[in-house]
Structures are given as C-alpha cells and as structure tokens.
Amino acid sequence: MNVLFAASEGHPFIKTGGLGDVIGALPKELQKQGINVSVILPKYEDMNETFKEQLELKEAITVPVGWRHQYCGIETLRYNDITYYFIDNEYYFKRSGSYGYFDDGERFSFFCRAVLEAIPYLDEQPDILHCHDWQTGMIPVLKKAHYRNNPYYDGMKVVYTIHNLRYQGIFPKGILHDLLDLSELHFTNEGVEFHGNVSFMKGGLLYSDYITTVSPSYADEIKQPYFGEYLDGILRKREDDFTGIINGIDSELYDPAADSALKYTYHSSFLLKEKNKIELQEKLGLQKGEGIPVLCMITRLVEQKGMDLFFRVLPEIMEENVQVVVLGTGDEHYEHMLREAENRYPGRFSANIYFDEAFARKLYASSDLFLMPSQFEPCGISQLIALRYGSLPIVRETGGLKDTVIPYNKYTGEGHGFSFADYNAHDMLNAIRLALHYYHHESLTWRKLVERGMRLNYSWEKSAEKYSSLYESLVK
C-alpha cells in the first residue's frame, strides 16, 4: 500500500510544533509495519542547508492559481528510508518562518493545488492521501472539484487529520474563485462557507473520506459546542467516519540514555539526572542544589496553554521550595510577564524567551516536574517526552493530557503523574503542592513514580497499527 502524507511541516526539515513531530515520526513507524509512506512538504527558506544540498529536482511543472500558472519544482531526497518531496516556489516559500504572513491563504492554496498536480510525477501512485491540518484542508475539495474525471485519481482515498481545530485557515470569500478556481456552488453552509468567509479546515472535514484527530478524548470533546469551534455539527454528522488516535513520540529521538544534547545520559539513574540538574542551574544562574525541585514549562506562550492560570498563582508557587524554568515564545504580554518574574525571583526563576530543541531536551532531563495546564489540548507530546526523561507531569485533564497522564492514587498505587480537572488556578496550585509534597517527604514513592513513567511505552507502534488498519479498510 502506498500512502502520501501532505503537510506544512515535518521534522527534521521544518518544525514549529507537534505537527512537525508527528510528520517526522509516524511515517517511520508505518514503514516498519510494511506500508510504503512518502511525504510532501513546502520547501521553506529556513530548511537546513545540509538538506537543501541533497535535494534533486524531479520535475518542473506549472500549477494553476486562479487565472495564473505558477512555477512548481518537485524536489526530492531520501531520509531514513522514506522519500520526501518538496514543493519549490520561491515567491511563496523563500521567506523566514512558515506561517503568519498576510498571503497565507494564497500560499497554501498554491500548496494544496501543487500537491495534486505533483502526484502523477511521484515515484508511486498513492492509494491513500493523508492530509494534515488546515494548510492541506482544500486538497480533498480540489480533488473532487477538478480531478473527478481524471482516472489517475480514481480510488485514491483521502484521510484528513485535525491537529488543532482552533486554527482553521479562514480567508475572504474571494479566495474561492480567484485562487482555487471553485464556483459559488462550494460557497454554501454545506460547503466551505464559514460565517461569510472560506474555511480550509471545514473543506477537509466535509470532503475527505475519513477524519482522524490526535487523541480519543479530544475527538469526543470537539463534537460538543464548547470545544467544537463552530464545526461540532459537522463532526457529529460524520462521527461514523471519525476517530481519535493518540499521538506517540519518536522513542529513538527522545531517549535520555542516548541523547547527544545531554552531558550525562541516563536510563533510570537518579544520580545522573541530578547531575544534569546541577549543570542546568549553573547555566541559568539558579541556586545550586540537588534537593531543590525544578518545575519547568516548555510551551507556546498563548492562552490555550494555561498561561493565565500560571501567572494567577505564580506568587504562591514561588512561596514553595521550588525553582521554575520556562522555555518558549508567544504573545508579547506573556513574554513581558516572564521577564518581570525573572527579575522578581532572582536565582529561582528563569525565563527563556526563545526555542531551541537541544535545550528543550536538556530541560526535560534536568527538571523534576513538568507543568502543562492547558485550557484544551488535542494531544500534546511534551508530557510524553517529560515522562520519558523522568520529569513527572502536572496536567489539566483535557484532550490527550487526560488520555496519557494517569494521576497517582495513593490508595491503589496506580498512576504516574498529577492532574486537576477544572480550569482553575488554585486547583492547579493544589496539584503542584501535592507533587512537591511527594518530592520533599516521600522519596520512595517519588522514585517509584519517576521509574514507572520512564518505563511507559508511548512510542508510535500501537497508534501506527491503528492507522494501518484504517488505511486497509478504506482501500478495501
């Protein structure tokens, strides 16, 4: 079976978040299970030069964008036994970053059409076209509108995965005709019309053969109005063709026993984990001490990630015997509040307003607790990486966090983390205090929880089996 992944990012070529991790890891596991997977991505300016030098031009074609025909280079390379294709157009993609430009609607209209136009030139004809998030949402729409009479596309099924329903790719109505060459027939409540605009996400939900999202709990949540972002009605109608499959992590990439980013690699050694902590404290100018717990956040600084809860009770958190380290970028006012906190709590609070993959892994390896109090969370992989590195997660019980972090129950002995249910700052504070209690006063229980978390299997193996079964059922 041939499966083509279409996405806007993928590790190690370009990554801004969890989508990049999924596209980097899932194809490898599917390949192990006998499915021939290839991946098609935009060729961004920020792509590592080492990879750019390896690219080979497979074909140069033109792609219709409304009344114009734009250049499209199809470039390719093999990496980890997977064929990657890159859509090259310097006007759209030769710029810093991936998203957030005024013409994103045009850029990804081009990309959606380019993927379909490129398919006949690829090494294998796909049985399954697996599209990811809003940036590819118009692919199934365009396939049905412009390629329905082309026999090459007959039998090719489209799977569409929601990675975050909140980000929908909403653009003015004019994009429909001017860029996508679609008629008014598609601009209806049963089509891609969304409050007077065009929604790429809605197109993916309506026109794909099957829909997935990245955790079972999130699949249930987004069928309800509170989490449904005004698309819950479509998801309820399509619930027979809709499921949640939990994300995994790349257990080879995220392995504290073999991580080149760490000075002290370890399997389950508390001594070596403590040495990583001392190195982190020295690097960040924190008070040195093995017995001081480090609580970290590696996150986008946005409302969704629970930043309001964090700042609401930060003074109470800092009254505890704990050090806090935050890594990430996002909304300017949150960045400003982090810098203020660093000035207010010298030697105990570290604000790192940037993102660096290697430093993130150092932080997982050096911290004792990982805080993830999300307002909503489709899946999240940070809590899984934290467990793998022996940092116990404190999470809000929502979406994939609810599916992957089992709170410790002192009566049954079950669990491997800490959680709270309501989106409430003091409920979060109580969960932090409970975790710190076990750290300071019940060291045997603490060690047991850390070791248990590190032994958990959150690789892609089981999830890839579910995707394999889904692909097979669609092809049959």
The answer to whether the CB of 318 falls within 8 A of the CB of 293 is no
Q: 402 falls in which pLDDT band (50, 70, 90)? A: very high
- As a whole number, mean pLDDT of residues 134-152 equals 96
pLDDT tens, residue by residue, 42-89? 999 999 999 999 999 999 999 999 899 999 999 999 999 999 999 999
Tokens of 270: 């508390």
Phi then psi for residue 399, to 5 deg, are: 50, -135
Q: 399 falls in which pLDDT band (50, 70, 90)? A: very high
Mean of per-residue pLDDT scores for the chain? 96
Q: Do domains 2-248+461-475 and 270-455 have the same CATH topology?
A: yes
pLDDT tens, residue by residue, 227-262? 999 999 999 999 999 999 999 999 888 999 999 999
Q: Compute the distance between CA of residue 430 and CA of residue 425 in angstroms, rounded to an integer.
A: 9
The answer to whether the CB of 110 falls within 8 A of the CB of 139 is no
Whether the predicted pLDDT of 354 surpasses 90:
yes
**Sole residue written with tokens 């040495």:** 275
* Residues of the chain above pLDDT 90, percent: 95
The answer to whether the CB of 265 falls within 8 A of the CB of 272 is yes
Q: What is the pLDDT of residue 290?
A: 80
Nearest Cα to Cα of residue 448 among 278, 257, 256, 268: 268
Beta strand 157-162 with 242-244: parallel, antiparallel or unpaired?
unpaired
CATH class of residue range 270-455: alpha beta
> For the chain, what are the domain ranges?
2-248+461-475, 270-455
The answer to whether the CB of 129 falls within 8 A of the CB of 157 is yes
Where residue 407 falls (left for φ over 0; alpha for ψ -120 to 50; beta otherwise) is beta
Q: What is the pLDDT of residue 387?
A: 97
Q: Compute the distance between CA of residue 262 and CA of residue 363 in angstroms, rounded to an integer.
A: 9
Residues 6+ apart with CB under 8 A from 333: none
Q: What is the pLDDT of residue 268?
A: 78
**Which is the CATH superfamily of the domain at 2-248+461-475?**
Glycogen Phosphorylase B; (3.40.50.2000)
- As a whole number, mean pLDDT of residues 381-403 equals 97
Nearest Cα to Cα of residue 17 among 198, 216, 167: 167
Q: 18 falls in which pLDDT band (50, 70, 90)? A: confident
pLDDT tens, residue by residue, 277-315? 999 999 999 999 888 999 999 999 999 999 999 999 999
Whether the predicted pLDDT of 269 surpasses 90:
no
pLDDT tens, residue by residue, 151-195? 999 999 999 999 999 999 999 999 999 999 999 999 999 999 999
Report the half-sphere exposure of 414 (CA within 13 A, side-chain side).
Answer: 3
Where residue 390 falls (left for φ over 0; alpha for ψ -120 to 50; beta otherwise) is left
Please state, as a whole number, how many other Cβ atoms lie within 10 Å of the Cβ of residue 476: 5
Whether pTM > 0.95 for this model: the answer is no
Q: What is the pLDDT of residue 16?
A: 86
Q: Compute the distance between CA of residue 59 and CA of residue 248 in angstroms, rounded to an integer.
A: 34
